[in-house]
Amino acid sequence: MSALDELRQLRRGGVQVRKRDNRAAFWFLAPWFAGLIFITIGPVLASFGLGFTKYNLIQPPKFIGFDNFARILSDERLHNALGVTFTYVLVSVPLQLACALGVALLLDRGLRGLAFYRSAFYLPSLLGSSVAIAVLWTQVFGTDGLVNRVLSFFGVEGKGWISDPDTALSTLIVLNVWTFGSPMIIFLAGLRQIPAMYYEAAAIDGASKWSQFWRITLPLLSPIVFFNLVLQIIHAFQSFTQAFVVSNGTGGPSDSTMFYTLYLYQQGFSRFDMGYASALAWFLLLIIAAFTAINFWAAKYWVFYDD
């Protein structure tokens, strides 16, 4: 067999491998394709269609044009829910990330007991989304709750933090800030990537810790800050359990904990107005997409890539 033949065979072999790969890939990806069609993309498209109908699961869907979307524009309870959700996202996420970064900075650079502290601060982010913690929060911020016990110790008169519409949302914000552990771990991993050399050089030049933070740490960490910001905003928009449990599913007192997701749940699964719920779901998707897009656009001005 000549070298040329061998080469030709190799080439044919190469082509065959390609072909075989396509077939193998199809089988390896078969479950994922099925999931994409029936569980994710399919329903996304279907909910777009349902958004133009009136549908209660019993009678067949009835086409009503843009009525559901017009209703979004005039629904005042929804506008209130949007306000509550925006406040929650825009206040709790920056606070949560600030705590995460602050604690990560304290833990950085070989502090003794790092693993122990890291675990202790991380634990709440595993517990935070559970019903059990929402039950605890209901007691802790209730009229006779733990917070007021501690306050009365200092002679401060407390109140029913959850039953007061002015403070109910703040208790949920505190709960989200409490789960700063998982962005903290991402920050810690990012801090470890910054070469110690930079700090040594800056120290020799007489830079203070403060300016080292602003000139070295923050710029080099900005891609991680950005990553956490995008992720936590998307995550916060989807909060549901805590508001649901704390308000017994009502979003009260006086709609002060009415998250967008809770309103969507009420429309879809308490009132079985599936058409309007679908329109709401799409609107939520657009809002989250818009926030993410703004984030990516703004990133050009403050995120620093060192390459």
Partner 1 sequence: MTTDLRRRLLVPAKHLGLVLIGIVMLYPVLWMIVSSLRPDDEIFRSPGLILDGLKTENYAEGWNALTPSFGTYLVNSTIVVLGCIIGNLVSCSMAAYAFARLHFTGKRWWFGIMLGTIMLPIHVIIVPQYVLFSQIGWVNTFLPLIVPKLLATDAFFVFLMVQFIRGLPRELDEAARIDGCGHPRIFLRIILPLMTPALATTTIFTFIWTWNDFFGQLIYLTDPDMYTVPVALRTFVDSTVATSWGSQFAMSVVSLIPIFLAFLIGQRYLVKGIATTGGK
Q: Which C-beta is closer to partner 1: that of 70 or that of 131? A: 131
Write the DSSP assignment of 120-182 as a string of letters: HHHHHHHHTTSHHHHHHHHHHTSTTSHHHHHHHHTT-----TTTSTTTHHHHHHHHHHHTTHH
Q: Nearest distance from residue 114's CB to partner 1, in Å?
A: 10
Identity of the residue numbered 81: A
Q: Nearest distance from residue 252's CB to partner 1, in Å?
A: 13
The backbone torsions φ and ψ at residue 62, rounded to the nearest 5 degrees and listed phi first, read -115, 130
Q: Which C-beta is closer to partner 1: that of 140 or that of 169? A: 140
Strand partners, 53: 63
Q: Which of 298, 138, 148 shows the shortest CA–CA distance to 222? A: 298
Q: Which C-beta is closer to partner 1: that of 201 or that of 286? A: 286
Q: Which C-beta is closer to partner 1: that of 182 or that of 256? A: 182
Per-residue exposure over 100-137, b if at least 16 CB sit within 10 Å of its own CB, e if not: bbebbbebbeeeeeeeeebeebeebbeebbeeebbeeb
Contact 147, 141 (CB under 8 A): yes
Any idea of the CA torsion for 277, 283, 287, 293, to the nearest 10 degrees?
A: 130
Q: Which C-beta is closer to partner 1: that of 86 or that of 122? A: 122
Q: Nearest distance from residue 124's CB to partner 1, in Å?
A: 6
Strand partners, 63: 53
Rounded Cα gap, residues 195 and 25, in angstroms: 41
Q: Which C-beta is closer to partner 1: that of 72 or that of 281? A: 281
Rounded Cα gap, residues 45 and 3, in angstroms: 55
> Among the residues of 36-75, which ranges form H helices?
41-50, 67-74
Q: Which of 225, 232, 136, 242 shows the shortest CA–CA distance to 187? A: 225
Q: Nearest distance from residue 44's CB to partner 1, in Å?
A: 6
Q: Nearest distance from residue 91's CB to partner 1, in Å?
A: 19
Q: Nearest distance from residue 236's CB to partner 1, in Å?
A: 11
Q: Which C-beta is closer to partner 1: that of 7 or that of 123? A: 123
Q: Nearest distance from residue 43's CB to partner 1, in Å?
A: 4
Rounded Cα gap, residues 130 and 139, in angstroms: 15
Q: Nearest distance from residue 211's CB to partner 1, in Å?
A: 16
Rounded Cα gap, residues 251 and 264, in angstroms: 11
Q: Which C-beta is closer to partner 1: that of 7 or that of 120? A: 120
Q: Which C-beta is closer to partner 1: that of 94 or that of 118? A: 118
Q: Nearest distance from residue 8's CB to partner 1, in Å?
A: 19
